[in-house]
Amino acid sequence: SIIGKLILAGAGPGDPDLVTLKTVKWLRRADVVMVDRLVSEEILSEHVNSHSQIIYVGKQCRRGISTPQQQINKLIVEYARQGKLIVRLKGGDVSIFSNILDELQTAVEHNIPYEIVPGITAALGAAAYAGIPLTARDHATSVRFLTCYKKDIISEAYWQELARTDDTLVFYMSSETLDMLVEKLTFYKIDESKKLAIAEQATTPLQNIFTCSLYNYNIEAKGKTFLSPSLVIVGKVVALHGLFKWQQNSGNGLHYFEPLTATVASLPGNSTKRKHVSRA
């Protein structure tokens, strides 16, 4: 039977110029591009060839508006059986808090050839655009990538260890549990020299970076909402933001990545309209 190929590729954290050359080369050759919500429309309009089909398969955690993973898997198999070159384009990097495992398993189970193309993950993009070196000398010798999208995902013993470590902590998908995150770290007596940064829509023209002491959080930020995507950085390195920030906050509450209002994945044979949207 005819079989295509699957390319699992990272689009970077927002700034369309941060997409890799290798991803661009695959986008120019693709028959089908299956794209997540957190991908700049400019990447699609600039680099996807005019004959390819773009299918939006976005997910929106906890909002109930998401393309089911089973449907994404089904699309991959259907298009591969048609001999199509499929680019599965994900925000950031495909291997950091991305649902790549299900799609890899789908490819293996159906004998679909595949390649994995790395991208700049949100932690690296946000830190660079905020002027926060994650492992700055005399501040931190290592960094941890974590998630705290629900309250019971981290054990009490691990919270205690996180409060004591000198590692820089980077939390993905954790802005909605931020009150609890700060409460846990301060309860376990995190060092007062460590600060908190929330990077909102990092690397985009609508970027905002908010910093404060964890012990002043209840006064300065408790209950505040941050636009998706937001990333949380905790550690001594956050103090460097004031010295090395090179991009000013946008100061507005506009969305760079539009929130999902409906699921938009289509089955093969259905038309998918190409969108050209300016995010700036």
Q: 225 burial class (0-12, 13-18, 19+ CB within 10 angstroms)? A: exposed
Q: How far is Cα 14 from Cα 207, in angstroms, rounded to an integer?
A: 10
Q: Which of 5, 15, 59, 84 is catalytic?
A: 59
Question: Which listed residue (5, 15, 17, 36) is catalytic?
Answer: 36
The reply to whether 245 belongs to the active site is no
Cα within 13 Å of Cα(209), Cβ side: 29
**Contact between 30 and 130 (Cβ < 8 Å):** no
* Annotation says 189 is catalytic: no
Q: Compute the distance between CA of residue 252 and CA of residue 250 in angstroms, rounded to an integer.
A: 6
Residues acting as catalytic residues: 36, 59
